[in-house]
């Protein structure tokens, strides 16, 4: 987790800090201003003293003689006396170059006595004369006889360029000091106000920057913890909370023993049915929107502290806290299934999109104790739910584990088999209703596994569909079947089974069929494609368009396994099928329950009235063959007439049917 120092975390926060800073600033500014004011006063005193020195030289007759120790005459005394009191001049003294006092303003008529001045002043006067540089002192009056603030300044007195002595002046600066202090205080006030303003501006800037930084940090940590698309928790944090919940869980049994309330939890996995088709049909932005809305709906059905995560693609996980028994999990699962079954009105699409979801659940204490096991088992339960159809849900069952592992191994082996061309096609003859005229063959995939032996298509086709290998497998079957059929005498036809999953990529199947015909040179009317009603149950419009496009190539379309689905009849009028193949379950029921005969007869009549030919599968006995012939079936297919066999065994001869069921052809 990112951690930066936040100004809000420091003690420099709040009004107290600002008060302290302001007070300190005020103190510093006041001190600085005091110093400035003092210097200003000292400079002023010095300027005054220099002025006085010059003034004395000009205004006092025989001024130079005063430095030779002469006392001023009456006129000079008058002038000197007149100068006193003006511009704050209190006293003045004259010293010679050696610092000896020559004249004091208080006793101008008499020679000063040594006691009239202090040695420090004399020493200063001597120093000033020697250095030819003025000296100043700023002083505060210590009693009522002295001004509150006054300056003493010693300046060299010159005659031409030569220093002849030193003038000491004492100037009352109380008034000036007051004026200076007032104006400096004002200036200080303005300066402090300006400083506080600057600090406030800086603080506002810092606060703004910190706010922005906090916003960025919040966003970064949100993104680190959540799936951007759906807002669900990321896998890492979800797993941590799941682990914590497992550590704190208390199953009902233990809780009862300890006299405490049970703390249960459950893990629920959810997978959308038909999400891939939505993605492929409407594009990824619609797919994303669907996922976003799925996330919202799931958040909507959660309660309290329950957590949602996106495990992968269209697969979500939920940690249900407080679920102590299966009824509470069931309640949530049912809410999920119901919520996700509602159609989505997505932007830009005229029709609502319908996807359902399968759900698997694992309860802590029953289906696992730790996070990994619970997640794994919830996924197992999900797979079981998916196997039983759309919108299904299931709890975990230990036997599922083995099934799934077996399925994974089979998928891996199938991949290798496909890559190395280990799959074969067998062809089962299809005869005319008379049972003797050969019409063609149905291509059936065969896989002889080195250790598993003969793996039936009913096992590996669903695995191929689940793992996406059906595309490669289907393409191979089409190519091989067409290439083989092209070598047969015309008009023998070949029927190829198409899986629903082969229609997921829109019209891609049309191109594949066209390509197979082109590559093999087989006439289109000799190729028949068998589909099941499950295909028509999904996204009918797109599927119908694809079927029409296929038919546009000249191939025939047959509905396989007719009668096994829920509503086979409902699909008959939706597409002009060329043929329907009655499932072998009906064939096997003939001659037993008379109602089967009635149903088969009805199917045949219905199909014929729609100009659809009828094939009956699974003919194993002569009795079945005869019954089907009587019932008006156009084509017959089954072990009685011929088992699926590799192409090298096909003779293309008319049937010489025997009443015995021959064993299946041994695979090469
Ligand atoms: P299906 O299309 O209904 O194929 C007919 C199945 O019935 C074949 O089983 C065939 O061997 C079997 N059969 C034929 N005559 C008789 C009979 O008289 N009695 C009995 N009991 N069975 C008979 P198979 O080959 O095991 O295929 C099973 C299913 O696997 C097929 O059912 C078809 O749905 C699928 N399948 C087979 N090959 C392919 C393929 O290349 N592509 C796709 N997508 N599916 C295939
Ligand atoms: Ca078939
Ligand atoms: Ca069939």
Higher pLDDT among residues 289 and 1, named by residue: 289
pLDDT digits (tens, 9 = 90+) for 23-37: 787 788 778 877 887
The rounded distance, in Å, linking the Cα atoms of 159 and 57 is 8
- Ligand 2 center to residue 460 CA distance, Å? 15
Reduced 3-state DSSP string for 612-645: CEEEECCCCCHHHHHHHHHCCCCEECCCCCCCCE
pLDDT-derived band at 567, boundaries 50, 70, 90: low
CATH class as words, domain 235-397: alpha beta
Identify the residue with better confidence: 525 or 666: 525
Which pLDDT band holds residue 667 (cuts at 50, 70, 90)? very low
Q: Atom 7 (ligand 1): residue with closest C-alpha?
A: 618
pLDDT of residue 118: 82
Long-range contacts, 248-255 (Cβ 8 Å, 24+) = 249/364, 249/365, 251/324, 251/364, 251/365, 252/324, 252/325, 252/365, 253/365
Q: Order of strands across the sheet with 357-363?
A: 307-312, 315-321, 265-272, 357-363, 393-395
Identify the three-state secondary structure at position 207.
helix
Cα 582 to Cα 561: distance, rounded to the nearest angstrom: 6
> How far is it, in rounded angstroms, from Cα 482 to Cα 485?
5
In this model, does residue 211 exceed pLDDT 90?
no
Higher confidence at residue 444 or residue 575?
444
Burial class (CB in 10 A: 0-12, 13-18, 19+), 620: middle
620 C-beta closer than 6 A to ligand 1: yes
pLDDT band of 666, cuts 50, 70, 90: very low
560 C-alpha vs ligand 2 centroid, how far in Å? 6
Q: Are strands 393-395 and 635-636 parallel, antiparallel or unpaired?
A: unpaired
- E strands, 222-351, where? 265-272, 307-312, 315-321
Distance between CA atoms of residues 13 and 142, nearest Å: 46
Q: Please state whether beta strands 149-159 and 307-312 pair in parallel, antiparallel, or not at all (unpaired).
A: unpaired
CB 587 within 8 A of CB 625: no
Residue 181 confidence (pLDDT) above 50: yes
67-81, 261-275, 378-392, 429-443, range with the lowest pLDDT: 67-81
pLDDT of residue 539: 62
CB 308 within 8 A of CB 316: yes
pLDDT, tens digit (0-9, with 9 covering 90-100), for 454-470: 999 999 999 999 888 99
Length of the chain: 668
Q: Residue 175: pLDDT above 90?
A: no
- Of all protein residues, whose CA lies closest to atom 15 belonging to ligand 1? 638
Cα–Cα distance for residue pair 304/299, rounded to 1 Å: 11
- C-beta of residue 625 within 8 angstroms of C-beta of residue 602: no
pLDDT tens digits, one per residue of 578-627: 999 999 999 999 988 899 999 999 999 999 999 999 999 999 999 999 99
* Model pLDDT, residue 568: 66
Given a cut of 60, whether residue 665 has pLDDT beyond it is: no
Q: Is the dihedral of CA 512, 516, 519, 521 positive or negative?
A: negative
Q: What is the pLDDT of residues 114-145, one digit of tens each?
A: 776 788 888 888 998 888 888 888 888 888 77
Residue 83 near residue 55, CB atoms below 8 Å: yes
657: exposed, middle or buried (Cβ count in 10 Å: 0-12, 13-18, 19+): middle
Write the CB contacts of 557 (distance below 8 Å, at least 6 apart in sequence). 528, 529, 531, 547, 550, 551, 575, 577, 578, 579
Closest ligand (CA of 662): 1
Residue ranges of alpha helices (H) inside 60-142 are 63-66, 74-83, 119-131
Query: Residue 162 forms beta bridges with which residues?
Result: 159
Rounded mean pLDDT of the chain?
Answer: 86
pLDDT greater than 80 at residue 109: no
pLDDT at 661 over 60: no
Relative to beta strand 135-140, strand 101-104 is: unpaired
Which of 306-315, 318-327, 535-544 comes out lowest in average pLDDT?
535-544
Question: By CB neighbour count within 10 A (0-12 exposed, 13-18 middle, 19+ buried), where does 475 fall?
Answer: middle
Superfamily of domain 407-654 in CATH is EAL domain (3.20.20.450)
The confidence score (pLDDT) of residue 487 equals: 96
Instruction: Enumerate the H helices of 486-539 as residue ranges.
Output: 508-520, 533-536
Residue 249 to residue 245: CA distance in whole angstroms: 6
Decide: 444 in ligand 1 pocket, CB within 6 A: yes
Q: Which of 617, 625, 646 to mutate to test the pocket of ligand 1 (most atoms within 8 A of CB)?
A: 617
Q: Which residues of 452-463 are buried (b: 16+ CB within 10 A; e: fewer)?
A: eeebebeebbbb
- For ligand 1, whether the C-beta of 561 sits within 6 Å is yes
User: How far is C-alpha 145 from the chain's CA centre?
Assistant: 84
| pLDDT value for 386 | 87
461 CB within 6 A, ligand 1: yes
Domain 17-225 falls in which CATH fold?
A: Beta-Lactamase (3.30.450)
Do the beta carbons of residue 485 and residue 493 sit within 8 Å? yes
Which has the higher per-residue pLDDT, 478 or 661? 478
**Which pLDDT score is estimated for 2?**
37
**Which helix H or strand E contains 97, and what residues bound it?**
none
| C-beta separation of 38 from 180 below 8 A | no
- 565 Cβ neighbours under 8 A, 6+ residues apart: 532, 533, 534, 537
pLDDT band at 423 (very low <50, low <70, confident <90, very high): very high
Of 117 and 225, the structure prediction assigns the larger pLDDT to 225
Please give the C-alpha separations between residue 324 and each of 244, 250, 266, 327, in angstroms, as whole numbers: 16, 9, 8, 9
Average pLDDT, integer, range 89-101: 85
Nearest protein Cα to ligand 1, atom 35: 457
Start-end of CATH 3.20.20.450 domains in the chain: 407-654
Which residue's C-alpha comes closest to atom 21 of ligand 1?
A: 618
Is the per-residue pLDDT at 647 higher than 90? yes
Name which of 154-158, 236-240, 430-434 the model is least confident about.
154-158
Residue 658: the pLDDT is 42
Segment 350-365, tens digit of pLDDT: 888 888 899 999 999 8
Please tell me if the CB atom of residue 428 comes closer than 6 angstroms to any atom of ligand 1: yes
In this predicted structure, what is the pLDDT of residue 603? 94
The pLDDT, as a whole number, for residue 113 is 75
**DSSP secondary structure letter of residue 272:** E
Which runs of E-coded beta strand occur in 302-452? 307-312, 315-321, 357-363, 393-395, 423-432, 438-449
**Confidence label for 663 from pLDDT (cuts 50, 70 and 90):** very low
Mean pLDDT of 206-210: 82
What are the start and end residues of each CATH 3.30.450.20 domain in the chain? 17-225
Indicate whether this model's pTM tops 0.85. Answer: no
Q: Is the Cβ atom of 431 under 6 angstroms away from ligand 1?
A: no
- Look at ligand 1, atom 25, and give the residue with the nearest C-alpha: 444
Please give the average per-residue pLDDT across 424-428, as a whole number: 98
The residue-averaged pLDDT of 48-69 equals 75
SS3 445: strand
- Residue 581 C-alpha to ligand 3 middle, in angstroms? 6
**Count of alpha carbons within 13 Å of 69, Cβ hemisphere only?**
5
| Sequence-ordered list of residues with C-beta below 8 angstroms from that of 33, at least 6 positions apart, any chain | 184, 185, 187, 188, 191
Residue 370 pLDDT > 80, yes or no? yes
Question: How many angstroms separate the CA atoms of 557 and 513, rounded?
Answer: 12
Q: What mean pLDDT is predicted for residues 186-201?
A: 77
Cα 208 to ligand 2 centroid, rounded to whole Å: 71
Question: What is the full DSSP assignment across 455-488?
Answer: E-HHHHHHHHHHHTTHHHHHHHHHHHHHHHHTTS
Cα dist from 68 to 65, 101, 114, 155, whole Å: 5, 11, 17, 17
pLDDT in tens, 247-256: 998 877 777 7
The confidence score (pLDDT) of residue 7 equals: 44
Q: Report the C-alpha gap between 360 and 372 in whole angstroms.
A: 15
Q: What residue's CA is closest to ligand 1, atom 22? A: 618
Q: How many of the other CB atoms lie within 10 Å of CB of 23?
A: 10
């Amino acid at each position: 987790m990112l951690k930066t120092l936040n100004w809000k975390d420091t003690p420099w926060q709040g009004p107290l800090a600002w008060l302290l800073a302001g007070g300190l600033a005020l103190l510093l500014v006041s001190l600085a201003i005091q110093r400035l004011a003092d210097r200003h006063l000292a400079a002023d005193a010095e300027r005054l003293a220099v002025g006085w020195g010059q003034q004395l030289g000009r205004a006092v007759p025989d001024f130079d003689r005063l430095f030779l120790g002469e006392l001023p005459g009456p006129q000079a005394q008058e002038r000197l006396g007149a100068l006193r009191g003006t511009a704050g001049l209190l006293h003045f003294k004259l010293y010679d170059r050696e610092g000896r006092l020559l004249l004091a303003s208080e006793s101008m008529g008499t020679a000063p006595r040594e006691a009239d001045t202090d040695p420090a002043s004399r020493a200063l006067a001597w120093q000033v004369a020697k250095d030819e540089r003025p000296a100043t002192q700023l002083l505060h009056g210590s009693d009522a006889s002295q001004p509150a603030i006054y300056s003493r300044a010693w300046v060299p007195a010159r005659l031409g360029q030569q220093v002849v002595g030193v003038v000491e002046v004492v100037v009352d600066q109380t008034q000036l000091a007051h004026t200076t202090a007032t104006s400096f205080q004002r200036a200080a006030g303005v300066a402090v106000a300006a400083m506080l303003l600057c600090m406030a501006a800086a603080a506002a800037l810092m606060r703004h920057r910190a706010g922005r930084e906090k916003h960025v940090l919040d966003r970064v940590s949100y993104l680190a913890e959540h799936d951007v698309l759906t807002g669900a928790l990321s896998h890492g944090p979800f797993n941590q909370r799941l682990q914590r919940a497992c550590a704190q869980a208390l199953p009902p049994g233990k809780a009862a023993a300890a006299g405490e309330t049970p703390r249960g939890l459950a893990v629920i996995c959810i997978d959308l049915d038909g999400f891939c088709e939505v993605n492929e049909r409407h594009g990824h932005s619609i797919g994303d929107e669907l996922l976003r809305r799925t996330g919202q709906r799931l958040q909507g059905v959660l309660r309290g502290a329950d957590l949602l995560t996106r495990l992968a693609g269209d697969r979500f996980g939920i940690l249900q806290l407080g679920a102590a028994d299966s009824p509470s999990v069931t309640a949530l699962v049912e809410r999920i299934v119901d919520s996700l079954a509602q159609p989505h009105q997505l932007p830009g699409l005229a029709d609502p999109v319908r996807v359902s979801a399968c759900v698997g659940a694992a309860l802590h204490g029953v289906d696992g104790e730790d996070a990994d096991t619970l997640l794994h088992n919830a996924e197992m339960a999900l797979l079981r739910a998916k196997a039983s159809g759309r919108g299904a849900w299931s709890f975990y069952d230990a036997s599922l584990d083995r099934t799934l592992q077996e399925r994974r191994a089979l998928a891996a082996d199938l991949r290798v088999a496909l890559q190395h061309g280990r799959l074969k096609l067998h062809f089962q003859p299809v005869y005319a209703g008379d049972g003797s005229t050969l019409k063609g063959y149905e291509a059936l995939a065969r896989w002889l596994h080195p250790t598993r032996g003969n793996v039936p298509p009913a096992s590996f086709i669903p695995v191929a569909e689940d793992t996406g290998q059906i595309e490669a497998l289907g393409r191979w079957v089409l190519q091989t079947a067409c290439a083989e059929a092209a070598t047969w005498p015309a008009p023998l036809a070949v029927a190829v089974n198409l899986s629903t999953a082969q229609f997921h990529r829109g019209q891609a199947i049309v191109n594949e069929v066209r390509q197979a015909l082109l590559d093999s040179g087989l006439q289109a009317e000799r190729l028949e494609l068998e589909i099941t009603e499950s295909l028509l149950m999904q996204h009918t419009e797109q599927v119908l368009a694809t079927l029409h496009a296929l038919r546009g190539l000249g191939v025939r379309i047959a509905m396989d396994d007719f009668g096994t689905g829920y509503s086979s009849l409902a699909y008959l009028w939706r597409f002009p099928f060329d043929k329907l193949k009655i499932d072998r379950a009906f064939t096997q029921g003939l001659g037993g329950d008379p109602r089967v005969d009635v149903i088969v007869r009805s199917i045949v009549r219905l199909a014929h009235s729609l100009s659809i030919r009828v094939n009956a599968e699974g003919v194993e006995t002569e009795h079945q063959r005869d019954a089907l012939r009587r019932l008006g079936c156009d084509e017959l297919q089954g072990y009685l007439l011929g088992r699926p066999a590799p192409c090298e065994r096909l003779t293309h001869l008319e049937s010489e049917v025997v009443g015995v069921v021959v064993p299946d052809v041994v695979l090469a």
